[in-house]
């Protein structure tokens, strides 16, 4: 039984995605937010995404983990990190409700704490929960291959160049598409999410969409949510409309969608 660092665990509804295979948009989930993000730690030469909405999870060893007291209360109690995988399973059981669809492994980057996330995924599956992985990066593809068959749903965050998540942006996209291929091959229902901004370029989105098309990976174009500490602006409708039509060159219409962060729009967790 391994130990690791968790930022928070709570019950809410999945606010990202669209009507494409792999998306759990609008469904009840328990969210396990893992600590640590390799992109923020400089895995690709930058300090993570400039629009990151969870910079607290960049800390690799936070002293405290925040846990919703009961599903739907939106109030939290705190416990001391590290937690064991058994602790996490017990918290998930406590927060479980009859309408629960799946357990979201999010972050930070859930694949960053390898043994810990593996033990949690295994215990969730052994207990009968559906698993949903939100990931952007791992440098260990064999580890991903090792756990992929236990992932029921996955959202792979394929970074637009404007996220500033990598110095060699195309290499990062290639890695994220390869991660998607591995998950698909193992039987996971997978989609790509690309967050776009007002300065996103159509030639960059074309590069992403073409790569997705090669493995028939559904893509969701997501409006960035501006944060208070960045000057990032939302894309225009013309951009989103144009990008969706670009995706249509490479993917069938049922594999293309648009998204906002619904949970932020209606101010839930």
**Contact residues: ligand SF4, CB under 6 A:** 37, 39-40, 48-49, 52, 54, 57, 107-109, 136, 165
Q: Which is nearer to ligand SF4, 44 or 255 (CB)?
A: 44
Q: Strand 6-13 vs strand 28-34: parallel, antiparallel, or unpaired?
A: antiparallel
CB of 94 to ligand SF4, least distance (A): 26
User: Rounded to whole angstroms, how far apart are CA atoms 37 and 82?
Assistant: 17
Q: Which is nearer to ligand SF4, 8 or 109 (CB)?
A: 109
Q: Which is nearer to ligand SF4, 51 or 243 (CB)?
A: 51
The β-bridge partners of 192 are 156, 219
CB of 200 to ligand SF4, least distance (A): 15
CB of 97 to ligand SF4, least distance (A): 27
Confirm if 212 and 192 have CB atoms less than 8 A apart: yes
234-240 long-range CB contacts below 8 Å, 24 or more apart? 234/197, 234/198, 235/196, 235/197, 235/198, 235/200, 236/198, 239/196, 239/198, 239/200, 239/202, 240/196
Q: Which is nearer to ligand SF4, 38 or 129 (CB)?
A: 38
Helix/strand/coil percent split, the chain, to 5? 35, 25, 45
Q: Which is nearer to ligand SF4, 20 or 49 (CB)?
A: 49
CB of 177 to ligand SF4, least distance (A): 16
CB of 261 to ligand SF4, least distance (A): 12
């Amino acid at each position: 039984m391994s130990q690791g660092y968790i930022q928070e665990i709570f019950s809410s509804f999945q606010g990202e995605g669209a009507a494409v295979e792999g998306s759990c948009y609008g469904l009840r989930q328990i969210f396990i937010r893992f600590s640590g993000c390799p992109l923020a730690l400089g895995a690709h030469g930058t300090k993570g995404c400039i629009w990151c909405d969870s910079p607290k999870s960049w800390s690799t060893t936070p002293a405290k983990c925040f846990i919703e007291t009961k599903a739907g209360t939106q109030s939290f109690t705190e416990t001391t990190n590290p937690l064991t995988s058994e602790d996490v399973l017990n918290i998930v059981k406590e927060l479980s409700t009859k309408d629960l669809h799946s357990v979201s492994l999010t972050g930070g980057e859930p694949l960053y704490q390898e043994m810990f996330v593996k033990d949690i995924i295994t215990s969730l599956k052994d207990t009968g929960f559906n698993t949903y992985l939100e990931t952007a990066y791992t440098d260990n593809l064999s580890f991903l291959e090792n756990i992929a068959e236990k992932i029921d749903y996955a959202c792979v965050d394929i970074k637009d160049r404007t996220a500033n998540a990598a110095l060699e942006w195309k290499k990062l996209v290639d890695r994220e598409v390869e991660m998607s291929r591995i998950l698909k091959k193992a039987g996971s229902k997978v989609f790509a999410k690309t967050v776009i901004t007002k300065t996103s370029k159509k030639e960059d989105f074309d590069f992403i969409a073409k790569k997705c098309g090669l493995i028939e990976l559904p893509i969701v174009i997501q409006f960035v949510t501006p944060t208070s500490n960045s000057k990032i602006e939302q894309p225009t409708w013309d951009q989103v409309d144009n990008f969706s039509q670009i995706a249509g060159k490479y993917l069938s219409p049922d594999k293309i969608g648009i998204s906002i962060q619904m949970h932020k729009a209606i101010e839930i967790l």
